Amino acid sequence: MRTFIILWFGQLVSLLGIYVTGYALNFWIFKNTHSATQFALISLFTLLPAIIIAPLAGTLGDRWDKRSIMILSNFGAGLSLLSVALLLFFGRLEIWHIYLATVASNAFSVLQWPAYEATIAQIVPAKHLVRANGMFQLGISISQLIAPALAGFLLVIIEIKGVFILNGISFLFCLVMLLLVRLPKLQTTTKAQGLKSLVWRDALVGWNYIRTRPGLFWLLILMCIYHFVEGISIVLSTPMFLSFTSTAVLGTMLSIAGSGMLLGTALISSWGGGKRRIYTVLGFTLLSGLCMVLVGLRPDVLLCTVAAFLHFFSLPIIVSARQAIFQSKVLPDVQGRVFAVNRMLINVFLLLSYVVSGPLADNVFNPLLVTNGLLAGSIGKIIGVGPGRGIGLLFIVVGTLMTIVTITSYLSPRLRRVELELPNVISYTR
Among residues 181, 216, 247, which one ends one of the domains? Answer: 181
- Spatial contact of 319 and 423, defined as CB atoms under 8 Å apart: no
Domain membership of residue 194 (yes or no) is no
Q: Among candidates 45, 163, 26, 32, which has minimal Cα distance to 99?
A: 45
Domain membership of residue 189 (yes or no) is no
> In a 10 Å sphere around its CB, with 0-12 CB exposed, 13-18 middle and 19+ buried, how is residue 7 labelled?
buried
Amino acid identity of residue 166, one-letter, is L
pLDDT for 61 equals 67
Distance of CA 168 to the CA centre of its chain: 23
Domain membership of residue 347 (yes or no) is yes
- Coil, helix or strand at residue 334: helix
Q: Give the angle 424-271-66 at the CA atoms, nearest 5°.
A: 50
pLDDT for 225 equals 95
Are 175 and 239 contained in the same domain? no
Domain membership of residue 201 (yes or no) is no
Please name the residues in contact with 203: beta carbons below 8 A apart, sequence gap of 6 or more. Answer: 55, 56, 58, 59, 337, 340
Please name the residues in contact with 195: beta carbons below 8 A apart, sequence gap of 6 or more. Answer: 202, 205, 334
Tallying the residues shown for the chain, one arrives at 430
Domain membership of residue 307 (yes or no) is yes
Are 348 and 401 contained in the same domain? yes
Are 337 and 400 contained in the same domain? yes
Domain membership of residue 82 (yes or no) is yes
Could you tell me the CA-to-CA distances from 289 to 346, 393, 425 in Å, in that order?
17, 14, 32
Task: Determine the Cα–Cα distance for residues 311 and 296; give it in Å rounded to an integer.
Answer: 13
> In a 10 Å sphere around its CB, with 0-12 CB exposed, 13-18 middle and 19+ buried, how is residue 203 labelled?
buried
Are 173 and 56 contained in the same domain? yes
Q: Tell me the residue range of the domain where 118 lies.
A: 1-181
Domain membership of residue 197 (yes or no) is no
Q: What is the tally of structural domains in the chain?
A: 2
Among residues 115, 147, 181, which one ends one of the domains? Answer: 181
The torsion region of residue 34 among left (phi > 0), alpha (psi -120 to 50) and beta comes to left
Are 167 and 239 contained in the same domain? no
Domain membership of residue 192 (yes or no) is no
CATH number at residue 239: 1.20.1250.20
Are 163 and 236 contained in the same domain? no
- Spatial contact of 60 and 336, defined as CB atoms under 8 Å apart: yes
pLDDT (tens digit per residue) in 255-272: 788 788 888 888 888 887
Are 277 and 420 contained in the same domain? yes
Among residues 139, 164, 181, which one ends one of the domains? Answer: 181
Residues in the chain predicted with pLDDT less than 70, given as ranges, are 1, 26, 30, 33-43, 61-62, 144, 148, 184-203, 426-430
pLDDT for 66 equals 76
Are 249 and 392 contained in the same domain? yes
pLDDT (tens digit per residue) in 330-385: 887 788 788 888 888 888 898 888 888 888 888 899 899 988 889 988 999 999 99
Are 2 and 101 contained in the same domain? yes
Q: Among candidates 299, 289, 305, 278, which has minimal Cα distance to 230?
A: 289
Are 404 and 262 contained in the same domain? yes
Are 151 and 22 contained in the same domain? yes
Please name the residues in contact with 252: beta carbons below 8 A apart, sequence gap of 6 or more. Answer: 305
> In a 10 Å sphere around its CB, with 0-12 CB exposed, 13-18 middle and 19+ buried, how is residue 39 labelled?
middle
Amino acid identity of residue 231, one-letter, is G
> In a 10 Å sphere around its CB, with 0-12 CB exposed, 13-18 middle and 19+ buried, how is residue 87 labelled?
middle
pLDDT for 122 equals 76
Task: Determine the Cα–Cα distance for residues 3 and 105; give it in Å rounded to an integer.
Answer: 26
Are 211 and 171 contained in the same domain? no
